[in-house]
Amino acid sequence: MTLIVQKYGGSSMGSIERIAHVARKVLAASQQQPTVVVVSAMQGETDRLLHLAKGLSERPNGRELDALLASGEQASSALLAIALNGLGAKARCYNGAQVPILTDNVHTKASIEEIPPENILNDLKAGYIVVVAGFQGVNEHGHVTTLGRGGSDTTAVALAGALKAKECQIYTDVAGVYTTDPRIVPQARLLSQITFEEMLEMASLGAKVLQIHSVELAGRYQVPLRVLSTFEEGAGTLIALEERLMKHSVVSGIAFNRDEARVSILGVADRPGMGAELLGSVSQLNIDVDMIVQNPSIAGTTDLTFTVHKNDYNTVMEVLQGKAQTLRAREVRGDARVAKISLVGAGMRSHPGVATQMFEVLGQEGINIQLVSTSEIKISVLVDEKYLELGVRALHAAFGLENEPNQEYLSR
């Protein structure tokens, strides 16, 4: 059975009018092929329930909190099914236990273990549109679990995998994934296609369209994902396997992050385990470290530089100043007014000149590069935060991102 899975988030389900609008979109899709829909709770509902719970207990028990929060998606899935029935379609809602979406026992952050597809497939065969409550599942004891915030995306992707769907369409309030933030570069172009790996780099670097976990999951299940707008017409952005790509752009997009702060400890003895000791003192505080660069040793000492979230900057500086004394390091320096710019593109693998071109462009604009970090499909640089917009715009123009590349993904 060739079917699709659609997912509508809380803002798409925010009112009677919006649910009616979603119902019309779902009905149109279901006239093309069997359709399964995953929905989030109505906008504001999860927060309302959380507020009630917090009013009754400072730390609500996970099992009961999950039962509480899951009710929001149960209601919205029923409402969408009611709307579809009202349009003359056959539709049925499912809660997590009814599918069933089997998860582990980690309440409030459960992981999906298995989704037996029989119940849904039987209803699809019988001509029903199936509406599934997102964000929730059921564990081996029959207790309701939830997948954590954004879990409805995960539900949709996992369902698409289990049902071998042709495509998993994530409807949001943006038109898709752009080459960069259109608020900074008005010429930013909607990407028609992007690889899973590129999407992961784009998402983790600040273009928050999709939950990272659901992109990873889609890649693992090889489920083509499409991000598109609930409120505007358009094909959105298809996120697919690189193998589906005939040729590809060298650079697909530019991500950036204003929240980074840079910290350096200079002139520390260059001995095995030193880096681990320094970073360990930070990660002990549950503080994430992003970019890490260690300079070559000069005269038995070395410099270690890394970035953390701006909110953690003061804490980390204090910890390192303590460490510096113990380890007899020369100096601790830091700067909280920095930003990270990243070029992302699967094509970089075969085009080694990208870094050079990036540095040239930034140099021409008088932007000093403080730190560089690279992966196979990404080059990130740290710059003074006042140059962020200038840098992004210059790179967007230099790499020609405003123009559609004359290369295409193979249709599946």
Could you list the residues that contact its own copies (CB under 8 A)?
Answer: 16, 19-20, 23, 49, 52-53, 55-58, 60-61, 63-65, 67-68, 70-72, 74-75, 77-79, 81-83, 85-86, 91-93, 95, 97-98, 142-144
Q: Residue 356 CA to chain centroid, in angstroms?
A: 29
- Angle formed at CA 336 by CA 210 and CA 316, multiple of 5 degrees: 90
How far apart are CB 82 and its own copies at their closest, in Å?
A: 4
Nearer to its own copies, 49 or 390 (CB): 49
Task: Go through the chain and tell me how many residues it has.
Answer: 412
To its own copies, the closest distance from the beta carbon of 58 in angstroms equals 7
* Closest to 19 measured CA to CA, from 44, 43, 47: 43
Q: How far is the CB of 149 from its own copies (least distance, A)?
A: 18
Q: Which is nearer to its own copies, 111 or 119 (CB)?
A: 119
Sheet holding 112-114: strands in order across?
112-114, 102-103, 136-138, 144-146
Nearest distance in Å: CB 37, its own copies = 13
Q: Give 78 or 317: the residue with its C-beta nearer to its own copies.
A: 78
Between 121 and 308, name the residue whose CB sits nearer to its own copies.
121
Residue number with CB closer to its own copies (77 or 264): 77
Give the residue with the Cβ less far from its own copies, 6 or 74: 74
Scanning 6-150, the segments in alpha helix (DSSP H) are 16-30, 45-56, 62-86, 118-125
Q: How far apart are the first and last CA of the chain?
A: 15
As measured in angstroms, the least distance from the Cβ of 29 to its own copies is 18
- Work out whether strand 301-309 and strand 260-269 pair parallel, antiparallel, or are unpaired: antiparallel
- If we measure between CA atoms, which residue out of 133, 70, 137, 136 comes closest to residue 102? 137
Least separation, in Å, of the C-beta of 237 and its own copies?
Answer: 30
Strand partners, 264: 305, 333
